[in-house]
Structure 1
């Protein structure tokens, strides 16, 4: 099934000398710059009666632009009646609190049962929005807040805001090792050289920066608050492993857990039995794509992380008493 789009406009005086892709973005703000550029390269843009395929083409006053695009639906995803934990909703956006084990988008090994399938069921019109309105993703086993656009204009605005770092995302993570101060990791991330499903710090990777600060310190672990300046795949997990403080439960990047010396059986079991990376998207702050209002949401830490933190606190307190007695 495909959707035909036909749009036309005339270059205004203030647009003279601008590039075609810049002018199109201003003329047709409902569509992202990436999509408009793809349409130019595909020959869907007509300039003064001639097809133009150069995004850098300079515009003249009175140039007539016609956009004719046939947009095919690449893959047909099925709606599924899956629950969504809705934190906020209006006509333009949706904010959800994603639980662990819930994949965001269908892919290899996860053809359905995803957030996208749930969105198509609860909001059938969202099928017309690119990626069903999904603006950013969380890993399958990362919990917390995600914003979803319910309309094309909202999606375009939010994607642009995300790229311009105007959306704040704060995470919590329990990491191995005792960290005494905050800081940041500014290292490029790319596909792992040999393990193609994993990411790694690579000299020729895409720029990635993660800020972190210490929230609580335990005997051999630390609770961190983290904020992203970029949104690379597995960014926090890769960066924390890179600085030798991998996230607890992250079997992909951290390997087997290493309990501290004199750890109680309760702590050993908690560390070895934590079945996912201890990572939670706790806060989301953004400007509403339509009203312009600055909005913020927080999601309480999930119970499994609360239990782990409680056990780490007990272990720390117990060993402080033992040290005092000895």
Structure 2
């Protein structure tokens, strides 16, 4: 086991809430059950006094000292897996995670994960809890992640995430015509019908806020950019589905295919074959743990999402040409045409 000390201030507006519940809100990377076990083990001090009651009602404003115990990564095998490193220095590294790469080993994915790759790329990460991973992306979501290379850097990054000071912006393609941008402020929790899924839970859910902006309209789809204020599991996927505009290809929260009328058969086949959520973490901004400077990175959408957008754009162009009546003409772009000039026309 490895340990890390965190200092948290209970929000003033949390009066009457359970200690375990408010800590779960402040520590989104850790499950409530794990936080409860830390409290019961005497690892939580409130204003300098150990508190071992998860149900303890807070007053607001208390100062919490929490000793976070984490399984170390010494038993995880180092594996040579290619990494797309965007930035690296002595404290952090930023990488562009590809589609299909799982972040942590777990049931069904004992190896071949990002953690295995990181331990091979930088062996000293064995000394850092969770090999320096401070946040995660779903297996089939691509994009930018930051990894701490030292324990102090990890503590600094975790505290930034707790304060919602790390800016994460995603590109997504949705099913349906979303008219305008806005904000989804809906708490999330485990679905009572399926514990493997997340759902909007007005009672018992954790606060979750997503800001979204429409970038481009297609005939039956919308490209959006989403900025996370919080970082709950599957947050964007659930929030967009809650609005009625699930992500293209989402196998868990998606709806049936929406194919525009008269769409090219080749385009239809591509849409049907797009079997992962069209979601990419394209921008990341944070304060560097050592320099204190705000740093920003961007990563372009992967090829499959770029092709998806290109196809949807081309579909719009073809449809608009047909609407204008251009399809009545017999174009043959492979034949040379001799254009007639005014001089060729007889008087």
Would you say same fold, with TM above 0.5? yes
Q: Sort the Cα spacing of 1:196 and 1:42 in 2 relative to 1 into closer, same or farther, 3 A.
A: closer
Distance in 1, Cα, partners of 2:213 & 2:42 = 49
Alignment of 1:145-164 (within 5 A): 145-164=144-163
Q: Please name the residue that 1:63 is paired with.
A: none
Instruction: State the 4+ residue runs in structure 1 displaced beyond 3 angstroms.
Output: 2-5, 34-46, 52-56, 68-75
| Structure 2 unaligned residues grouped into runs of 5+ | 6-31, 54-66, 327-347
Contact 2:249 2:275 in 1 (8 A): yes
Task: Give a deviation string over 1:111-169, Cα, whole Å, max 9, x none.
Answer: 11100111111111111212111111000000000000011111111011011111100
SS in 2 for 1:284: strand
In structure 2, relative to structure 1, the CA distance for the partners of 1:120 and 1:175 (3 Å cut) is same
For this pair of structures, how many residues does the alignment match? 285
> Equivalents in 2 of 1:188, 1:40: separation in Å?
24
Correspondence for 1:228: 228
CA distance in 2, matches of 1:4, 1:135: 14
Over alpha carbons, which structure has the higher Rg? 2
Match of 1:102 in 2: 101
Answer yes or no: is 1:267 the counterpart of 2:267. yes
Task: Give ranges in structure 1 of 5+ residues lacking alignment.
Answer: 8-33, 47-51, 57-67
Higher mean C-alpha displacement, 103-112 vs 73-82: 73-82
How big is the shift at 1:83? 1.2
Helix, strand or coil for the counterpart of 2:324? helix
Q: CA deviation at 1:285?
A: 0.6
Shift of 1:42: 3.5
Contact 1:188 1:206 in 2 (8 A): yes
Q: Deviations over 1:59-100 (max 9, x none)?
A: xxxxxxxxx999874872111111111000000001000000
8 Å CA contact 1:98–1:144 kept in 2: the answer is yes
Q: What's 1:177 paired with?
A: 176
- Deviating more after overlay: 218-227 vs 125-134: 125-134
1:69-218 paired onto structure 2 within 5 Å: 73=72, 76-204=75-203, 205-218=205-218
With over 3 angstroms needed to count, the CA separation of the structure-2 counterparts of 1:194 and 1:226, relative to structure 1, is: same
Secondary structure in structure 1 of the residue aligned to 2:321: helix
Counterpart Cα distance in 2 of 1:315 and 1:238: 28
Kept in 1: contact 2:71–2:129 (CA 8 A): no
Which residue in the other structure is 1:64 paired with? none
Deviation of 1:282 after TM superposition, in Å, equals 0.4
With normalisation by structure 1, the TM-score equals 0.80
Could you tell me how far 1:287 is from its partner in structure 2? 0.6
Give yes or no for contact 1:266–1:311 (8 Å, CA) kept in 2: no
In the TM superposition, residue 260 of structure 1 has moved relative to its aligned partner by: 1.6
- Measured against aligned partners, the alpha-carbon deviations of 1:267-315 in whole angstroms (never above 9, x if no partner) come to 2111101121110000001110111011000001111011111110011
Over aligned residues, Cα RMSD in angstroms? 3.1
CA pair 45-160 structure 1, distance change in 2 beyond 3 A:
closer
Measure how far apart 1:3 and its partner are.
6.7
How far does residue 45 in structure 1 lie from its aligned partner after superposition?
Answer: 9.9
